[in-house]
Amino acid sequence: MLQLAAERACGAHPLGMPVKHTHRARSLLGPQALLAVTQLVVLDSSRARAAELARAYAAAALPNRLALLRDLGFDDATSLSDRPVDALVATGGPEDIARRVELHLDAGADHVSLHVLTATPDEPPLRQWHELAAQLL
């Protein structure tokens, strides 16, 4: 898909992929194309709760991302070990999320949007947005 974007589009908007993918995307797209990535995040002071929610999301998303993850060197993706889950979903406090945003920018992203995952997906994550805004803006 990135190759098609490089040949026919003005950029790409990958959703929920590791920083390593951002680096590869920039290499394929070239320096002029827009690269706007979406980082999945779980903002929670409890590392255990954050990891549990991140793992649940990764399990649901894995079928669509398995080949890409393996291509990026995540041979352990099917086991849902910490390494691929942590690569897909940024977890922790606002400063942890800010570090992940910086990694994407350093890897070549022009823009990083955040998709906040919560245990109550039918409710807007207002608290999380406020905490993230205080750190990132």
Find the CATH number of the domain harbouring 90: 3.20.20.30
**Per-residue pLDDT at 79:** 83
Is 113 domain-assigned? yes
Is 1 domain-assigned? no
Is 119 domain-assigned? yes
**Per-residue pLDDT at 2:** 85
Helix, coil or strand: residue 135 = helix
Is 63 domain-assigned? yes
**Per-residue pLDDT at 24:** 97
Q: Total structural domains in the chain?
A: 1
Is 98 domain-assigned? yes
Is 5 domain-assigned? no
Distance CA 62, CA 88 (A): 10
CB count within 10 Å of CB 81 equals 12
Is 3 domain-assigned? no
Predicted TM-score of the model (pTM): 0.94
From first to last of its 137 residues, what are the pLDDT tens digits of the chain? 888 888 899 999 999 999 999 999 999 999 999 999 999 999 998 999 999 999 999 999 888 888 899 999 998 888 888 999 999 999 999 999 999 999 999 999 999 999 999 999 999 999 999 999 999 99
**Per-residue pLDDT at 131:** 97
Handedness of CA 12, 112, 86, 59 (dihedral sign): negative
**Per-residue pLDDT at 115:** 98
Which range of residues forms the domain containing residue 15? 10-136
